[in-house]
A and B are shown apart, each in its own frame.
Chain A
Amino acid sequence: AQKITQTQPGMFVQEKEAVTLDCTYDTSDPSYGLFWYKQPSSGEMIFLIYQGSYDQQNATEGRYSLNFQKARKSANLVISASQLGDSAMYFCAMREDNNNDMRFGAGTRLTVKP
């Protein structure tokens, strides 16, 4: 069964600094997608970035980038130049091509300090 692990329950970062949120996954399916979502205190789930298992390059979306290490089964989210508005819960998720069930990690609560 697919499993997503986020080992950091909480992280702190100084405003304007970069931060890395860890995510490891477990799957035997060669084809899958990895996703990161942000959940601010208001509750909505905001899509941030996507990485396909066959993508050769790391995904980037503005200040977000995904450090994809396929052999290590890790998909860490890097947020550059942190802003106060980045304070939120961040969830890593995976969905296999052979399984419609998207699984989420437990999340990491990021706090950006002024």
Chain B
Amino acid sequence: DSGVTQTPKHLITATGQRVTLRCSPRSGDLSVYWYQQSLDQGLQFLIQYYNGEERAKGNILERFSAQQFPDLHSELNLSSLELGDSALYFCASSVGLTSGQETQYFGPGTRLLVL
């Protein structure tokens, strides 16, 4: 158990809908990262938050947004969902901002299926 929690574990929805994925980081970690894992694209970094502020953006679509709350939990919002958004979404956390030298610990993931 990494200490990172994600809910829900599974999510099935229809095209055009909006969903929210939730993540709680490990105790003491200030940075939260979101990743998407799909069969065709592999593991892709989406976005990072540090202590409530956005720090880095990766391959995140404009239909997707995220935020980190004062209690450090984070939510990833996916809207106008398309079939291709079906994937495993991971949240990871790390202590702080020191980038390359810091280990990220992953949550169990949310498996999203868009029908």
Contacts and interface: CB of A to CB of B under 8 A. Distances in A.
Contacts of A97: 98-101
B43 A91 contact: yes
Interface residues of B, number: 25
A96 B100 contact: yes
A96 B42 contact: no
A43 interface: yes
Interface residues of A, number: 29
Contacts of B43: 91, 93, 104
Contacts, number: 67
A52 B103 contact: no
Contact of B104 (A29, A98, A102, A107): A102
B58 A101 contact: yes
23 contacts: A29-B100, A31-B100, A31-B101, A33-B99, A33-B100, A33-B102, A35-B104, A44-B107, A44-B108, A45-B90, A45-B106, A45-B109, A46-B106, A47-B105, A53-B100, A95-B100, A96-B99, A96-B100, A97-B98, A99-B56, A99-B100, A100-B56, A107-B42
Interface of A: 29, 31-33, 35, 37, 43-47, 50, 52-53, 91, 93-104, 106-107
